[in-house]
Amino acid sequence: MNVRTAALILSVLHAVCGQSPVVSIRPRTAAVKLGETVSFHCHMTSGSQPVQLEWKRINNQPLGDNIKLGPDGAVLTIANVRLNNQGGYRCIVTNAQGKSTITATLSIRQPPKVRVTPSGPLTVRAGESVTLECSVSGKPRPSVSWFKQQGGSETVLVSMITDTTASLQVKVMAAEDAGIFVCRAQSREGLAEGRVELELEGGASGPQASVTDTDLTAVEGQSVTMHCYATGSPTPVISWSKLRAPLPWQHKVSGGSLTLSNVGRQDSGQYICNATNSAGFSEAYVQLEVDSPPYATILMDETVVRPGDALRLQCLAHGTHPIRFRWMRVGGASMSPGAESTKDGLLKIARLKASDSGTYKCVATNHVGSSEALTKVTVRGV
């Protein structure tokens, strides 16, 4: 073997046996909410052993007491994520031939927050202008708009918008220029709003009541809150009532909001926000629908019939419609080939056999939940 060939072989062996590490990390970026848990996995795709693996913050700050490493150091887990966990994390892999570094980035998703200044209610003179500032934060950056609420409706207003603020200038010439002004910020992480009331100085103005939601749907057992606001001078007094019925006994009124606890179907109906001052009164309405899961029953607990007889089993269900019915046999036995069920819960078998004896189950289902009822069928000869 000549010197040139030997040098080539040594070069190849060094390339195979002495390779610097090549690493990957997944995920490269992660966006989570506060309080969630996230893990980054660092993996050497090629390179010579042994290796040393370590994690560092890109700002060289300590990792933090809520950050743990896996047994081999390859997995970095951040539990109960906090704001100061945001940033970059470097995985550094070193062997005798060199070092490789790769970075993962963690960002914190935050629901929108809104702060309106000045806070209200504000009393202004006729002809006076007021600038309302809405400061907004959140990740991703929320969209922001100003609205005026009046008489149960909203009007979008033109405002000056920057990255973090929306400024609205209001000139009050008459009572109708005053009212409730709402700054609303929205992103895929949620919605937030702040509001301020402007009142015209001097003289009384009739109240204008408005509600946040005119239609609400709840499930039995939940709590529901209805929000009512009113403009007028002097400041109106807000009260709540229910159309053609007293308010549920489990209710609470606070600051214009009505909260119903542990609602039932009997709490469905129209709720009325009443705003009153010395200049008059105004009403706004909320329609509440309370949905309930089905409650299934079968008319007969047990049926005894003879072979060749016809069978009719009726399943009934109370609850929010539409309700779907499904029949089956308990224990895994198959239904008779001649069995037929209708959409209103009736099971029919034209000619019974002894093998049709057993326990039958009706399952009633709606969009809230499901319920089942059992009945026993005995096919017995004379």
Query: How do residues 246-267 score in pLDDT, each as one tens digit?
Result: 999 889 999 899 999 999 999 9
- Do 283 and 300 lie in a common domain? no
Q: Mean pLDDT throughout 201-226?
A: 87
- Whether 6 maps to a domain, the answer reads no
pLDDT at 349: 94
Spell out the residues 6+ positions from residue 215 whose beta carbon is closer than 8 angstroms to its own: 286, 287, 289
Domain with 83, as residue range(s), is 20-110
For residue 305, is pLDDT > 90?
A: yes
- Whether 15 maps to a domain, the answer reads no
User: What separation in angstroms does the CA of 105 have from each of 54, 58, 168?
Assistant: 16, 10, 37
Q: Which residues of 165-199 are buried (b: 16+ CB within 10 A; e: fewer)?
A: bbebebebeebeebbbbbbbbbbebeebbbbbbbb
**What are the tokens at 225?**
């809150």
- The amino acid that residue 45 corresponds to is T
- Whether 8 maps to a domain, the answer reads no
- Do 211 and 280 lie in a common domain? yes
pLDDT, one tens digit per residue, over 160-203 is: 888 889 999 998 887 778 888 999 999 988 899 999 988 887 75
- The amino acid that residue 206 corresponds to is G
For residue 4, is pLDDT > 60?
A: no
Q: Which has the closest alpha carbon to 269: 282, 255, 286?
A: 286
Q: Which has the closest alpha carbon to 256: 279, 280, 219, 282?
A: 282
Domain closes at, from 78, 110, 142: 110
DSSP 345: S
For the chain, give the percent of residues with pLDDT over 70.
94
Number of domains in the chain: 4
Spell out the residues 6+ positions from residue 126 whose beta carbon is closer than 8 angstroms to its own: 172, 173, 174, 200, 201, 202
Tokens 């994390």 correspond to 89
Global pTM value = 0.48
CATH number at residue 254: 2.60.40.10
- Whether 12 maps to a domain, the answer reads no
- Whether 168 maps to a domain, the answer reads yes
